[in-house]
Structure 1
Amino acid sequence: MPYDFDLLRELTETSGVPGYEDRVRDVVRREFENEVDRVESDGMGNVVGTIEGSGDRSVVVAAHMDEIGFMVRHVTDDGYLRLDALGGWDARVLKAQRVTVHTENGDIDGLIGSPPPHTMDEKDLEGKDEVADVHVDLGLDGDEVEERVAVGDLVTTRQTTELLGEHVTGKALDNRVSVFALVEAARRIDDPEATVHLAATVQEEVGLRGAKALGVDIDADLAIGLDTTVANDVPGFEEADHVTALGDGAGIKLKDSSAIANPKVHRHFRALAEEHDIDYQMEVLPAGGTDTAGLQFAGGATPAGAISFPTRYLHTVTESVHAEDVAAAIDLLVAALEAETDGADYTL
């Protein structure tokens, strides 16, 4: 691969739910340390690696560190855990999944229970799954669970990141693949004209909160969001509803439900992709928002665009991206940052 797959695997397998991104933040700081001019963090937990440019312009690129997960809301007398969702889950995918409970005294492995179909009637089988109905079984008796687990402890799914043919599959590719792109860009950018702020943000999955705060603190001339996007190029969807397709290149966002990309910005990205022979596809996402919106107007009227990683099975424990799309998106990001000059003008 033309990039550091071991680091991508580490980032995706590391746990970090909204508001508790500590472990991921540590990896980002470690990787930024020798690649940028300075590393800073704020009271919310955003981490920004800055590469000083030779000119007067600045660019901020945001990729969120948090993954969807859970918080323990109740421990039963029998030792089962009831959960509250952190981020948008489809509860149908949770049955029989292995999880990790993150306590103050260490991690505990567990699983989400799923009753056998032999004991379920037709009403049970057709009922709507809800996160509130999920229970985590730790294989321990109630007294030991009470000693080791507290309300407020965090829970993440337990999954390895693997190559599956030409695809990379695992948990938290949304949005660790974009965090990985920040690091790869930091490694590749050499003497930019614009100062580049590479921001690993927090709490995107619960309302773009980290990016909204960061947009106030960093007054950039251009904001770029990095995130995954829907690839419904699988059975059961009409071609018009695919949004993107794996293997067709980096996504250049036109719109999602939270932001409309500045026309000059997305046209510039498209021209760069064609100039550098980078595969790309235009993205119109009917639902779902990204940090692009969090940055776009938090500190005023900032021109904004986004580069996306087409992803199948979003918000499940087995998300999938195409290895070559990852390379294309990183190449496009680097090209955009190196092309940013004092003469750039995205006003409309």
Structure 2
Amino acid sequence: MEHDFELLRELTEARGVPGYEDRIREIVRREFDDSVDRVRTDAMGNVVGTIEGTGEDEGYSVAVAAHMDEIGFMVKHVTDEGFLQVDALGGFDPRVLRAQRVTVHTDGGDLTGVIGSVPPHTLTEEQREKKDEVEDVYIDVGLDGDAASEQVTVGDLVTLDQTTVEMGNLITGKALDDRVCVFQLLEAANRIEDPDVTIHFAATVQEEVGLRGAQALGVDVDPDLAIALDVTVANDVPQIGDESKQVTEVGDGAAVKLKDSSVITNPKVNHRLRDVAERRGIDHQLEVLPAGGTDTAGFQNTHGAKPVGAISIPTRYLHTVTESAHADDVDGAIDLLVAFLETETGDHDYTL
């Protein structure tokens, strides 16, 4: 990577489920200290670092958003035997949860746990045929019922365990969705100097449960233009035979989003993103995502009509602990965001 892998590792390995992004918020505020003119945090926990515009149209502002939260769980019950039952915070594929190691975040400190899995030797025919569901998850923390009840309470949070490593040309770990784009946002803020327009770099909350942080910021910040940063599906793996279902490919460059299930991006914005990429020689591809939403829609649908665009980082194995993105795509996404912001003067007409 051309950029700071240790910061990316710190961001992805930190824990922060929707509504409880405190640990990531601390990192973001620390990194903003030397790169923006002012920082504020709102009542929901969104962090906004602002660089004031120095051009003629100082009143024009751009919001750039990436979400801090990762999918996780909240404890809803401790059984008499000491096992934890949980409610999901965000969308999980239950098939990938069996035998995963987790951390339970309690008032007394973090506890290690594992999601139980019945050995194949003893599965009944009914168990073999049963579809995995999150409500069937039981977390074993290695304690009996009394000890577990003393240390774990309803409302405690649970995150999946994984380290972030470089694997060939890829970076793999948990929570690349969307910490790799928080990293992109922080790197861009550090590189931007004296922009013509005011830029609000926003690290948002609660995206995984309904784009809630971005919706609030769409009102509070009220930008003239919004660019969202998120990962996107890269189904370029052997299990996907139909190339039309790949969406993007890792290593082919940052993706300019045309649509997902929550938004159709402004054609003039995505054309300018593509034009900037071509002029600067930045590898890029186009994204048509059939399902899934991003903060892009949160800004478009609040406080009046807003032109919106999005830059996505192609990522394999989304919503697992082995999410994987290509280092060159990460670098390219940063380069594209910086180039777009450096050439934004407030004079571009995005009305349709």
Both proteins in one fold, TM over 0.5: yes
Deviation at 1:298, TM superposition (A): 0.6
Alignment equivalent of 1:138, drawn from 138, 141, 148: 141
Are residue 125 (structure 1) and residue 139 (structure 2) matched?
no
1:273-293 CA distance string (max 9 Å, x none): 001110000000000000000
1:300 matched residue in structure 2? 304
CA distance, structure 1, for counterparts of residue 230 and residue 264 of structure 2: 15
1:113 matched residue in structure 2? 116
CA distance, structure 1, for counterparts of residue 91 and residue 289 of structure 2: 17
Please show how residues 109-258 of structure 1 align to structure 2 within 5 Å: 109-237=112-240, 238-258=242-262
- Give the TM-score normalised by the residue count of structure 1: 0.99
1:66-121 CA distance string (max 9 Å, x none): 00000000000111000100000000100000000001121111110111000002
Question: Once structures 1 and 2 are overlaid, which stretch shifts more, 170-179 or 336-345?
Answer: 336-345
1:285-307 CA distance string (max 9 Å, x none): 00000000001131211100000
CA distance, structure 1, for counterparts of residue 196 and residue 345 of structure 2: 6
CA distance, structure 1, for counterparts of residue 226 and residue 301 of structure 2: 10
CA distance, structure 2, for counterparts of residue 24 and residue 68 of structure 1: 14
1:46 matched residue in structure 2? 46
CA distance, structure 2, for counterparts of residue 252 and residue 347 of structure 1: 19
CA distance, structure 1, for counterparts of residue 345 and residue 110 of structure 2: 47
1:6 matched residue in structure 2? 6
Q: CA RMSD in A?
A: 0.7
CA distance, structure 1, for counterparts of residue 35 and residue 168 of structure 2: 32
1:98 matched residue in structure 2? 101
CA distance, structure 2, for counterparts of residue 9 and residue 163 of structure 1: 10
CA distance, structure 1, for counterparts of residue 129 and residue 324 of structure 2: 28
CA distance, structure 2, for counterparts of residue 157 and residue 236 of structure 1: 25
Are residue 18 (structure 1) and residue 18 (structure 2) matched?
yes
Alignment equivalent of 1:319, drawn from 323, 333, 337: 323
Q: Please list every run of at least 4 consecutive aligned residues from structure 1 whose deviation after the TM superposition is greater than 6 angstroms.
A: none
Are residue 331 (structure 1) and residue 347 (structure 2) matched?
no
Question: Once structures 1 and 2 are overlaid, which stretch shifts more, 233-242 or 42-51?
Answer: 233-242
Are residue 33 (structure 1) and residue 33 (structure 2) matched?
yes
Deviation at 1:345, TM superposition (A): 1.2
CA distance, structure 1, for counterparts of residue 349 and residue 33 of structure 2: 32
The code of the aligned residue for 2:47 comes to V
Deviation at 1:343, TM superposition (A): 1.4
CA distance, structure 1, for counterparts of residue 183 and residue 258 of structure 2: 23
Stretches of structure 2 lacking an aligned partner (at least 5 in a row): none
Secondary structure of the residue aligned to 2:29 is helix
Deviation at 1:126, TM superposition (A): 2.3
1:246-290 CA distance string (max 9 Å, x none): 000001000000000100000000000001110000000000000
Deviation at 1:136, TM superposition (A): 0.5
- Give the TM-score normalised by the residue count of structure 2: 0.98
CA distance, structure 1, for counterparts of residue 229 and residue 346 of structure 2: 23
Deviation at 1:190, TM superposition (A): 1.2
The code of the aligned residue for 2:90 comes to G
Secondary structure of the residue aligned to 2:148 is helix
CA distance, structure 1, for counterparts of residue 333 and residue 300 of structure 2: 21
Are residue 61 (structure 1) and residue 64 (structure 2) matched?
yes
Secondary structure of the residue aligned to 2:216 is helix
CA distance, structure 2, for counterparts of residue 346 and residue 190 of structure 1: 24
CA distance, structure 2, for counterparts of residue 268 and residue 316 of structure 1: 33
Secondary structure of the residue aligned to 2:239 is coil
Question: Once structures 1 and 2 are overlaid, which stretch shifts more, 245-254 or 134-143?
Answer: 134-143
1:233-257 CA distance string (max 9 Å, x none): 0112211110000000001000000
The code of the aligned residue for 1:203 comes to Q
Secondary structure of the residue aligned to 1:178 is helix
1:276 matched residue in structure 2? 280
CA distance, structure 2, for counterparts of residue 93 and residue 343 of structure 1: 48
CA distance, structure 1, for counterparts of residue 165 and residue 113 of structure 2: 22
CA distance, structure 2, for counterparts of residue 188 and residue 54 of structure 1: 16
CA distance, structure 1, for counterparts of residue 222 and residue 43 of structure 2: 18
1:260 matched residue in structure 2? 264
CA distance, structure 2, for counterparts of residue 236 and residue 35 of structure 1: 43
Q: How many pairs does the alignment contain?
A: 348
CA distance, structure 1, for counterparts of residue 130 and residue 249 of structure 2: 32
The code of the aligned residue for 1:87 comes to G
Deviation at 1:123, TM superposition (A): 2.4
1:82 matched residue in structure 2? 85
1:113-148 CA distance string (max 9 Å, x none): 111000002321221000100000011111111111
